[in-house]
């Protein structure tokens, strides 16, 4: 009785989360996908480092930090372009995207220098 009710509750929770998320605008969904891609790449590198050791440590740091940085910048973009977020309602989404691109350029410049 108890077990089936927990399963049912969890199912209901996922159901409601999914229906709520399906209402999210497409541009935010694209950002989410992008963040997931970055986090997944970072995880692969951490596992790889655990297997082969930390020898080119600068390369490892730049590889992971490029993913983490990308994810952080994408989340910042998501906060700024979200219509429901009243804090940035004066900030046009074009401006937010331009900031995002500029920060990414700086990030990758640093990463390229630190990689080798």
Partner 1 sequence: MANLCITSLIFLSFLPIICLSFSPENPTDRRILVLLDDFALKSSHSIFFKALQNRGFELDFKLADDRQINLQRYGQYMYDGLVLFAPNTERFGGSLDLADVLDFVDSGHDLILSADVNASDLIRNIAAECGVDFDEDPSAMVIDHTNYAVSDTEGDHTLIASDDFVQSDVMLGSAKMEAPVLFKGIGHSLNSANNLAMKVLGASPSAYSANPKSKLSNPPSLTGSAISLVSVVQARNNARILIAGSLDMFSNRLFKSGVQKAGSSNKYEKSGNEQFVTELSKWVFHERGHLKAVNIRHHKVGETDEPAIYRINDDLEYSVEIFEWSGTNWEPYVSNDVQVQFYMMSPYVLKTLSTNQKGLYYTSFKVPDVYGVFQFKVEYHRLGYTSLSLAKQIPVRPFRHNEYERFITTAFPYYGASFSTMAGFFIFSFIYLYSK
| Alpha carbon distance 5, 62 (integer Å) | 47
Cβ closer to partner 1: 21 or 48? 48
> Is 114:62 a contact under the CB 8 Å cutoff?
yes
> Is 68:38 a contact under the CB 8 Å cutoff?
yes
| Alpha carbon distance 90, 116 (integer Å) | 42
- Binding string, residues 93-112; x marks residues near partner 1 by CB under 8 A: ----x---x--x---x--xx
Q: Which residue among 12, 16, 38, 113 contacts partner 1 (CB under 8 A)?
A: 38
> Is 97:81 a contact under the CB 8 Å cutoff?
yes
82 binds partner 1 (CB under 8 A): no
- Kindly state the DSSP code that residue 56 receives in the 8-state scheme: S
Question: Using CB under 8 A, which of the segments 3-11, 13-21, 45-53, 84-92 binds partner 1?
Answer: 45-53
50 binds partner 1 (CB under 8 A): no
State both tokens at 4: 């089936």
Q: Which chain residues interact with partner 1 by CB under 8 A?
A: 26-27, 30-31, 34, 37-38, 41-42, 44-45, 48, 52-53, 55-56, 59-60, 62-64, 66-67, 70, 74, 97, 101, 104, 108, 111-112, 115-116
């Amino acid at each position: 009785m108890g077990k089936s009710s927990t399963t049912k509750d969890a199912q209901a929770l996922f159901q409601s989360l999914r229906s709520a998320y399906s209402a999210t605008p497409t541009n935010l969904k694209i950002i989410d996908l992008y963040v997931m891609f970055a986090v997944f790449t970072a995880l692969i590198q951490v596992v790889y480092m655990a297997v082969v050791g930390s020898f080119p440590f600068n390369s490892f740091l730049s590889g992971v930090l490029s993913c983490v940085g990308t994810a952080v910048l994408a989340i910042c973009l998501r906060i700024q372009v979200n219509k429901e977020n009243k804090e940035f309602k004066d900030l046009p989404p074009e401006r937010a995207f331009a900031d995002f691109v500029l920060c990414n350029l700086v990030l990758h410049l640093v990463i390229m220098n630190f990689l080798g």
